[in-house]
Amino acid sequence: MQSTFDERNWLSWLVRVRIFILTLLLAIELAVAKFNPAPLPIRLFVSTILFWFSLSLFFVLLLSLWREHRLQASIQVLTDLALISLVVHETGGWDSSLNFLYPLAIIVASVLLPRVWAYLIAALAFILYGLVLELNYYAVIPSYCTTHPGFPALQAIIFVNLFAFLAVAYLAGLLTAKLRQVGVQLKDTSGALESLQVLHENIIHSISSGLVTTGLDGRVTLVNAAGQRLLEHTAAELVGTPVNQLFMDPLPTVESEHAHAEVRFENPGKFRKTLRVRVESLTVPERGDQGYVYVLDDLTELRRLEREIRMQDRLAAVGRLAAAIAHEIRNPLTSIAGSVSMLSGVPEMNEEHRRLLDIVTRESQRLNAIITDFLAYSRTKQYHFDKVDLIQLVEDTLTLMDHRMKAENTGISIKRSFPVKQAWTLADGDKLKQVFWNICENAVRAMKDGGTLTVSVEAASEDWQIGFADTGAGMNPQQTEKIFEPFQSNFEGGTGLGLAIVYQIMQAHEGKVWARSKPGQGTTFVLRLHRLDAERPALTENGIGQTMLAGAAAAGVSHG
């Protein structure tokens, strides 16, 4: 049990108490000597007290230099006994009122040292006190007593104090043992409580769902590890923040019929997330409601897959429709074009008739181009996969785009950001160039008054990430949601099939493509393709070629 208590702290406490008592004794004895003249040797008494002060200061220094605390405690107790005996002698021997210091020394010994020491110190105190009285009685040393009791009275005083010292030793030892036992139990209980608290914290931080607790004022008090990952902030950043300010939509309340809702969370510069939030009251027994508990689940990927499944259904429907009617439209269209061509050669036609025939010819050609794109979109494509460098493919596309923009004087500049020198992947190079060209074409159309197209290629985990960011007019969330669907062109004269083909090609490469945009802040298209050195199942030409109309599990589209 001895090891469970800090002897150093107790020794430090003993020095402070000793200094306090010495100061108090010095003040009281000087006051008594002033108002009640007695044969008290003031100079000797003050010298003894000052010597005792000096020893106390020495013990403070020794405490920081010497690690043998048990031995220090023994020295201090024995020194105190000797000085107590000297002070008792100087203040009148059997007339002294300071013999109560002996029991204090015994109590200190019972606290700092093993229990047997309390009895040893009590016996030593009895011997020293008896020795002082006997030497005073027989005038062996100068006596400062004011009375002279008889020998029986002297013996009675000595043995009464012996009984008192032994009683103090017994009671102090008993109480100290109880105190140490309680200290051990308290330490064990504290350890169990700490272990329970650590267990609860581990359970909370091991939950896969985000957990946020707040006070009744709505300010965050705790966030588990999953919650910190979902909200992309540390606990220090979140604690104290009003929970309603973290989300774009109102949170559910415990009073509502359904205490759950889907809310949007957006971290500046990153993708918007969709979270399901459930709320319950944080109730403590006998204290009532103390706050609220919010459970967060990330539905971003689930909602993305749902959108993609809906898109796949629409794309499949469009593909079937294209295959069914494209040829039926092209046949009469060819007849119309041939007939118009013959009519244009009739000499009797005036200028107005010829102008009308030119309109019919141009619209026929435009309709034929739409049908051609439609058939290209719906027709099964053949892919030839090989090891290609994405940096080189992007550079080839940007070189052509540079020449075109200079020739047309569009006022658009291209900024390249390639932190890697090479980006190898397994892909159909010609199809990827078509993807890059279509995205760049859309960026140029979006920047009618000039701007900057920033193209980047960088590593992202096991993928390569290619970004095309323009400074155009941007799109609203509804346009961004449908941008990869056929016939969703935002530009005049566009067929709305370019980005649908982009999506189709990326899906065939088991890649991902998404767009994020805000009105007035431009649009960024992001593509993800597997790195050639990343571990993944082997891809075959036929196997990949058949995946272009596969489900959402093979590839994805996400809107930020």
Quote the pLDDT of residue 108. Answer: 83
Find where tokens 């993708």 sit: 271
Residues 123 and 277: their CA atoms lie apart, in Å, by 74
Q: Please state the φ and ψ torsions of residue 91, each to the nearest 5 degrees.
A: -100, 15
Residues 514 and 527: their CA atoms lie apart, in Å, by 7
Quote the pLDDT of residue 557. Answer: 34
Whose CA is closest to 125, among 90, 158, 76? 158
Whose CA is closest to 137, among 145, 117, 181? 145
Angle between helices 42-65 and 7-35 (to 10 degrees): 170
Tell me the DSSP string of 366-410.
Answer: HHHHHHHHHHHHHSPPP---EEEEHHHHHHHHHHHHHHHHHHHT-
Instruction: Give residues with Cβ within 8 angstroms of 511, minimum separation 6.
Output: 463, 527, 528, 529, 530, 555
Copy the structure tokens of residue 202: 């581990």
Whose CA is closest to 430, among 397, 398, 405? 397
Copy the structure tokens of residue 41: 């040797």
Question: What Rg do the C-alpha atoms of the chain give, in angstroms?
Answer: 47
Cross-strand partners of 515:
525, 559
3-state secondary structure string across 81-141:
HHHHHHHHHHCCHHHCCCCCHHHHHHHHHHHHCCHHHHHHHHHHHHHHHHHHHHHHHCCCC
Residues 244 and 107: their CA atoms lie apart, in Å, by 60
Structural domains in the chain, sorted by start: 2-189 (no CATH), 207-298 (3.30.450.20), 308-378 (1.10.287), 386-559 (3.30.565.10)
Residue 251 per-residue DSSP state: P
Residues 242 and 220: their CA atoms lie apart, in Å, by 6
Determine contact, residues 371/333, Cβ cutoff 8 Å. Answer: yes
SS3 of 349, please?
Answer: coil
Quote the pLDDT of residue 379. Answer: 62
Tell me the DSSP string of 448-513.
Answer: TT-EEEEEEEEEETTEEEEEEE--S----HHHHHTTTSTT---STT--S-HHHHHHHHHHHTT-EE
Question: How far does CA 329 lie from the centroid of its chain?
Answer: 60
Q: What is the pLDDT along the chain (560 residues), one digit of tens a residue?
A: 344 456 677 777 777 787 888 788 778 777 777 776 666 678 888 888 888 888 888 887 887 787 787 888 888 888 888 888 888 888 888 877 788 888 888 888 888 888 888 888 888 988 888 888 888 888 888 877 777 777 888 788 888 888 888 888 888 888 887 877 777 777 777 777 777 777 777 888 888 889 999 998 889 998 998 888 888 888 888 899 999 888 888 888 887 766 788 888 887 766 778 899 999 888 888 778 889 999 999 988 888 888 778 777 776 776 667 666 666 776 777 777 777 777 777 777 777 777 777 888 877 777 777 777 666 666 666 788 999 999 999 999 999 888 888 888 888 999 999 999 999 999 999 999 999 999 998 899 888 888 999 999 999 888 999 999 999 888 888 888 778 877 666 665 555 677 888 888 898 898 989 888 888 889 999 999 999 875 444 444 444 333 333 333 333 333 33
Copy the structure tokens of residue 540: 């075959």
Burial 477-516 (b: 16+ CB within 10 A, else e): eebbbbbbbbeebbeeeebbbbbbbbbbbbbbbbbbbbbb
Quote the pLDDT of residue 313. Answer: 77
Cross-strand partners of 277:
261, 296
Residues 148 and 151: their CA atoms lie apart, in Å, by 9
Q: Please state the φ and ψ torsions of residue 487, each to the nearest 5 degrees.
A: 60, 35
